[in-house]
Structure 1
């Protein structure tokens, strides 16, 4: 990396910091006497090669006013964000995945997890021990919620301030490498959530010596935006861009991750000729192509806008920039099915949107069609990651309940069978595979007035989101309480008595046999749908040499009028007579393709 602490080939460590707002910076080595001066360049870089430092040395940078700050590119913070950084040897871990090249995106079945609550121990090492269970049911990729260093002992992860340091509550960086190494041994890809749109509210010292980090020209829900605008801010914006782009390269190179899920990319504003995310994508893919052996690296956007042009494939089905976008539409609309909410005046319109989101992916409002809508025709279903629940969807309920605690089992199975066999890329949330009923509330660990403000703000957010009064908010968990965090830990004892793991194993085996092999070469939209009645629809996709069809009745009563052709590959529920489906029933079938 061009900054941070770098072990030298001879002896010692090179320390480098970009601090254009400082005239002097000194290096403080723990237990090493006086602070050491660093040499300043005219551009604002401070550097020192210190022969007495080594792997394991702890250090800080000391500003003119005596403030000691962590390295913004720290690889490890043993004592949290306010403590010293530690020099890490990035080559010390003995990898065993030398031949690993990743997996084609078409084979992906994602599993979102939070390291701190995935196991009772809440560590990288403990998570590695559970991967066998995931591989056995057919999970081919884990998506780890953001693990960069945050303030306190518990957090969802999206309040990170030191982007290069895996949080010490989960273990040492080598423990994370071990987790990834084990995942690759099981054929499981590792996708890492990263947050490049803001820094957390506690522990971000960068503005003290790099005030150009943020700009008031653009705002985000979390405050001033990061200053990526290279055309207006020159070299300072270039260094902001490098801080982020180098972070992406850091995870894929030093930690062998197979991809990144970029959080809330709609909040990353950049008016430069080349958007920072486009540059990031190009450089990450260049690294993957140059690696020996070449590696498949997947970049996923969470974006509230239509980003179809960023998702285009070539005629071989390969993406140029971004592999996929989260498809929130499917989760919102399928939620109506599980609530059995088919009584409103707009029920037919909602079912049309529901079917469209499953058939085509991200729904674009009518007024947004046009050039972007035309581009959308060339985006295949594999460009969308779809789900029924995520950390946000669960955590933003007042009681943070999961679907298994809210809906009848038959409704859950019907909706999940729709999700898991769609040509879109499915993602489940940790514990879904055994019907977990433990909640997943928002939790954090901030001190003083900030902690009180977060608790108050969370309550106001839930009240506004759900139009809830004080009585309704009575049981809303306080994010600051340790008990809230502990309640989110998976209860693995539930798995011992659950029939869900076998159900997942069987349906994902059907996906790998009948669906995934036909997805790799897709390069354009291929789905079409028809609505029979509210909550009942039929969809077909022309894939490589076959037509995949689904008939879905997500109602609590029977529906007829479905086409009954094709070979049934999965029936969830009952079909009493041909062309009819009982309540909460889904039929998947394949036929020879009807389109050249």
Structure 2
């Protein structure tokens, strides 16, 4: 692994004082680079060792600039801290100290207190739009909001995973100062703010790196998005590690979620990033690093990363709730109840077993604490990757979904909700972009081609009806009805009953689960019948948490009952019936037993 030294420049435009800026560009394939400033000046950069071009010039904050490569091609700064408009526009010099923080004593929150609410800034009206909902979310019991990626992407509408300028907050969502104001305001309500970052690829439009820094990529390793990023290079590692530090230190985000790290072909980069973050941001400040990782590498969760999004949990519960077994759900169709038992007792379902493609997947995870796994019933992917963006409330049986929601919010795993879950939103979340020309055609056809493995869309003619990601109407359809719901106007009793359920469950989590979560460990999970399990955890204070769950339409024999306090039951008298030996259909019973857990373990 290449070591970082003081000779390595910091990428981009760094304000030295109120009037002067140092520009640094790694362009090993360029012969000459100039900084083109907004007033018409063309300033020659000085070539340094290892492909760097550097210049210190009189350019205050707000200066617009581009780089001119070899006298002809003008490009934005790949480490631009802000863009004048889109990814092809001039970059802007930013003063990172200009914002006056109000909640200066904020140190974050312990990870065991996390209740995560994922949002898309665009459909909520940008950074200021999200800010309008903070008080409501805090009142609901949310403790962290997680922003889908906000790095500058082409056009005005995008999920964020097509970003090409990782340092620049998306300009159509607001200014860097407005983003900081959102984070500051969230801290004032006791909310952590987590950012989804994409370090595994760049988007297809607006990335010029290959023209002057081919060493950023590996032509011998491919990913679903093209050539892999070459993390063997010191300059490449620093580009992304410095980006992580910028979000955490300058913007004061409380954590990062790293997208699809299985597409990063150098795990030493990940461990270096985690180590560097924790070195630069020591206690008492809390900063959290989460992963999305198809490989289920439990070992990374012992090397500086706090948790992983548990797709296994979602996929198993989705099969049990909907009966869908197409495409990737087929890996969870066989013995789904056994898989549910395994994920509740050990974290990952796949811990080295083969998938439908014949590939082994995962590492042993049973030794990890429950808080190492982020559990969700749906997220942006699992809704948006459906052809019509339907939510679980529209494709599953309501009573079963309510039982699964009790599991989500009261288990010792870290719960994540997607915006609108709490009122069973009927608005879809579709895949949307703002591409044009041939790229728009390719994205539209590629999107429809993704569903060829689904029985409902095996016919190409049926796939033609899948919404076009580039149509503005596709984006507009995704805006959730926050105001109507929280003002309780014209939304219907069913939506209000869901909202009350979430409030009730989150109140129980805050009161009974969070104080006991540190030190929690799974004990076991017993299969009762198809779709029904009984899971037990040893909590940090020595008590035992038990969740009896029946997602099926049939009553099943309940396990032996231990005296304890019933925290929640989805149906009246469900616990009393369970004591008599019957667990009703679509039932969740959550109980807390103040006992010596070793006595319970001895019974096994």
Question: TM-score normalized by structure 2?
Answer: 0.90
Q: Per-residue deviation at 1:362?
A: 1.1
Cα distance in structure 2, aligned partners of 1:557 and 1:534: 9
Q: Deviations over 1:263-316 (max 9, x none)?
A: 00111002xxx7111000001011110xxx73111110100113112213xxxx
Cα distance in structure 2, aligned partners of 1:465 and 1:49: 56
Q: Per-residue deviation at 1:126?
A: 1.3
2:95 aligned residue (89, 100, 105): 89
Q: Per-residue deviation at 1:366?
A: 5.5
Kept after mapping to 1: 8 A contact 2:297/2:363 = no
Kept after mapping to 1: 8 A contact 2:319/2:333 = no
Unmatched tracts of structure 2, length 5 or more: 1-8, 355-360, 600-604
Cα distance in structure 1, aligned partners of 2:365 and 2:503: 33
Cα distance in structure 1, aligned partners of 2:157 and 2:53: 33
1:559 aligned residue (550, 556, 560): 556
The question of 1:151 aligning with 2:154 is answered yes
| Aligned ranges 1:282-301 → 2 under 5 Å | 282-289=275-282, 294-301=284-291
| Matched residue, 1:364 | 350
| Matched residue, 1:100 | 106
1:351 aligned residue (330, 333, 337): 337
Cα distance in structure 2, aligned partners of 1:526 and 1:123: 40
Q: Deviations over 1:237-275 (max 9, x none)?
A: 1000100110000100110001100000111002xxx71
| Matched residue, 2:448 | 459
Q: Per-residue deviation at 1:65?
A: 4.5
| Matched residue, 1:405 | 394
Cα distance in structure 2, aligned partners of 1:423 and 1:580: 25
The question of 1:388 aligning with 2:377 is answered yes
2:49 aligned residue (30, 42, 52): 42
| CA shift in 2, pair 1:593/1:513, >3 Å | farther
| Secondary structure of the corresponding residue to residue 278 of structure 2 | helix
Q: Deviations over 1:187-242 (max 9, x none)?
A: 1111100001100000001111111000022211111100012xxxxxxx100010
1:276 aligned residue (269, 280, 298): 269
1:113 aligned residue (102, 111, 119): 119
Q: Deviations over 1:100-154 (max 9, x none)?
A: 111110010111110011x2xx210111110001000100011110010000110
Cα distance in structure 2, aligned partners of 1:228 and 1:593: 49
The question of 1:124 aligning with 2:127 is answered yes
| Secondary structure of the corresponding residue to residue 463 of structure 1 | coil
Q: Deviations over 1:332-389 (max 9, x none)?
A: 11112322579x9x97821010121123211134648xxx998634211110001010
| Matched residue, 1:233 | none
| Secondary structure of the corresponding residue to residue 29 of structure 2 | coil
Kept after mapping to 2: 8 A contact 1:573/1:583 = no
1:241 aligned residue (224, 234, 237): 237
| Matched residue, 2:321 | 338
| CA shift in 2, pair 1:40/1:58, >3 Å | same
Cα distance in structure 1, aligned partners of 2:478 and 2:56: 45
Q: Which is bigger in relative contact order (C-alpha 8 A, separation at least 6)?
A: 1
The question of 1:550 aligning with 2:533 is answered no
Cα distance in structure 1, aligned partners of 2:103 and 2:195: 18
| Aligned ranges 1:206-217 → 2 under 5 Å | 206-217=209-220
| Matched residue, 2:358 | none
| Matched residue, 2:597 | 594
| Aligned ranges 1:170-319 → 2 under 5 Å | 170-229=173-232, 237-270=233-266, 275-289=268-282, 294-312=284-302
The question of 1:506 aligning with 2:517 is answered no
| Matched residue, 2:164 | 161
| CA shift in 2, pair 1:219/1:373, >3 Å | closer
Cα distance in structure 1, aligned partners of 2:362 and 2:467: 42
| CA shift in 2, pair 1:550/1:10, >3 Å | closer
| Secondary structure of the corresponding residue to residue 49 of structure 2 | coil
1:482 aligned residue (460, 472, 487): 472
Cα distance in structure 1, aligned partners of 2:333 and 2:472: 41
| Secondary structure of the corresponding residue to residue 295 of structure 1 | coil
| Aligned ranges 1:134-149 → 2 under 5 Å | 134-149=137-152
| CA shift in 2, pair 1:474/1:69, >3 Å | closer
Q: Per-residue deviation at 1:97?
A: 2.0
Cα distance in structure 2, aligned partners of 1:381 and 1:455: 39
Q: Deviations over 1:438-468 (max 9, x none)?
A: 0011000112101111001000012235563
Kept after mapping to 2: 8 A contact 1:131/1:183 = yes
Cα distance in structure 1, aligned partners of 2:65 and 2:27: 17
Moved over 3 A (4+): 365-368, 372-375
Kept after mapping to 2: 8 A contact 1:347/1:534 = no
Cα distance in structure 2, aligned partners of 1:209 and 1:340: 50
Cα distance in structure 2, aligned partners of 1:33 and 1:420: 57
| CA shift in 2, pair 1:357/1:50, >3 Å | same
Kept after mapping to 1: 8 A contact 2:14/2:23 = yes
Q: Per-residue deviation at 1:567?
A: 1.6
| Secondary structure of the corresponding residue to residue 481 of structure 2 | coil
Q: Per-residue deviation at 1:499?
A: 2.8
Q: Per-residue deviation at 1:99?
A: 1.0
RMSD between superposed Cα atoms in Å: 2.1
The question of 1:6 aligning with 2:6 is answered no
| Matched residue, 2:3 | none
| CA shift in 2, pair 1:212/1:509, >3 Å | same
Q: Per-residue deviation at 1:471?
A: 4.8
| Secondary structure of the corresponding residue to residue 550 of structure 1 | strand
| Matched residue, 2:517 | 519
Kept after mapping to 2: 8 A contact 1:101/1:296 = yes
Deviates more, 1:431-440 or 1:563-572: 563-572
Count of aligned residue pairs for this structure pair: 565
Cα distance in structure 2, aligned partners of 1:157 and 1:393: 16
Q: Deviations over 1:46-79 (max 9, x none)?
A: 111112x211110000011411110111111121
